[in-house]
Structure 1
C-alpha cells in the first residue's frame, strides 16, 4: 500500500513544473497522513524531492552550472500562506526591500498575518509569522501596508527626501478612495507624512 501511495504522490508531483513547493496536505487524498509522510520521506531519500523544513518539500529545479535552485524565503512564505488561506504582511527590512528603499535581502523575515503565529527555520534563515492587528488588516491596499511597515522600520527621524520621493511615486498608483480609507488606519505620524506627500 505504501508503495502505491508513493507512486501516486510522485505522479501528482510530476504534473507540475520543477521549483514548486509541496506540503503533505497536498496529497491527503492518496492515503493516511502517516503513509503520505513516509512516501515523501522516501522521495526525499531518492533525491526526487528536497526537504526545505519540517513538512515543506521542494520539487527541485536543477541548473547545469549552479545545481539546485532554491526558492527565496519570500516564495516559501507565500506558499505557506496560500496553503493556510492566510494573508501575510512583510515587515522591517523586507518591506523596505519590496518598496525599493533597500537593497538588503534579509535571511530572517517576519510577516504579520491573520493566520497562526509560528517560526520556521529554513536553511540559514527563518520565517516568523506574528499576529497582525485587526486595524492593520483593515487596510485595503497592499502598497499602503508596505509603506506603513517600511516607515515604521526607518523611524520618524530617518525619513529623508529620497524616501519621501519614492513613497510619493507609489501613492500615485493607489486608488484615491482606497488611499483616503487606508491612511486613517496608519499611525498618526505616518498619516501626516502621507497627507503632506499627497498634497505636494
Structure 2
C-alpha cells in the first residue's frame, strides 16, 4: 500500500455517509495519478462507491435497503459546491421541479457560471451548460425555474394545463422578485409570461 493510498484512506474516514468524493479533494497528498489509483482501489475493495468518471460516494448503508445513493440532482449540487460554482436547473429538469411534468428526466441540464461539462451517472446524464451572468442573476425560487424552463423549451404549443400551472406558480412568487426576474427573460418568454399575467388580471 502506497503512502498516498494510506493518507487518502485515513482522510476519507472524516467524510460523512452520502458525501461526494472527487480527486481534487486530495490535491497535495500525492500525484494526480496516485490519487486516482488510490480512489480506484478503494472503490474496488468497497470502501467507497464509484458513480461516474472521477466521482465517488461514501454510500449510506441502510439495514433494510442496503446502499442508499443520493439522487442525480443531489449529486449535481454537491459537485457544484465542490467546484465553487453556481448552478440553476433548466429545461426538463426545471419543468419537473415545478410540477409541470411528472416524467423524471434522464438528462438533467443546469445552467452554470462555471465551465460546460457532461457527467454520466448510471443511465442519467448531468449537463452543466455555461451561460451568461444575466441568466444566473435570476433570483426568484419559482420565477427563475419558470423562466429557465421556458428559455430552454420554448413557449409554443404549451397546453392549457401547463399554462394554468404556470399561472398558479406566478401567484406564489414574490411580485417584486418576479417583476425583476421578468426583465432578465428573453423577449419571447417575457411576452408569454406577461400575457399570462394580464389574462389572469382580466379573468
User: TM-score of the superposition, structure 2-length normalised?
Assistant: 0.83
In 2, Cα distance between equivalents of 1:8 and 1:141:
43
2:52–2:119: 8 Å Cα contact kept in structure 1? yes
- Match of 2:176? 177
1:109–1:127: 8 Å Cα contact kept in structure 2? yes
In 2, Cα distance between equivalents of 1:55 and 1:26:
11
In 1, Cα distance between equivalents of 2:31 and 2:173:
47
**Where do residues 34-183 of structure 1 align in structure 2 (5 Å cutoff)?**
34-152=33-151, 153=153, 155-160=155-160, 162-183=161-182
Once the two structures are overlaid, the 10-residue window that deviates more, 162-171 or 111-120, is: 162-171
What is the CA distance between 1:22 and its match in structure 2? 0.8
In 1, Cα distance between equivalents of 2:143 and 2:2:
49
1:73–1:107: 8 Å Cα contact kept in structure 2? no
2:112–2:131: 8 Å Cα contact kept in structure 1? yes
Structure 1: stretches of 5+ with no match in the other structure: none
In 2, Cα distance between equivalents of 1:148 and 1:175:
15
Structure 2: stretches of 5+ with no match in the other structure: none
Q: List structure 1 segments (4+ residues) > 6 angstroms apart after TM superposition.
A: none
Indicate the SS of the match to 2:38.
helix
What is the CA distance between 1:198 and its match in structure 2? 4.4
Once the two structures are overlaid, the 10-residue window that deviates more, 119-128 or 48-57, is: 119-128
- Match of 2:190? 191
User: TM-score of the superposition, structure 1-length normalised?
Assistant: 0.85
Q: How many residues align?
A: 198
What is the CA distance between 1:82 and its match in structure 2? 1.3
What is the CA distance between 1:67 and its match in structure 2? 2.8
Q: CA RMSD in A?
A: 2.3
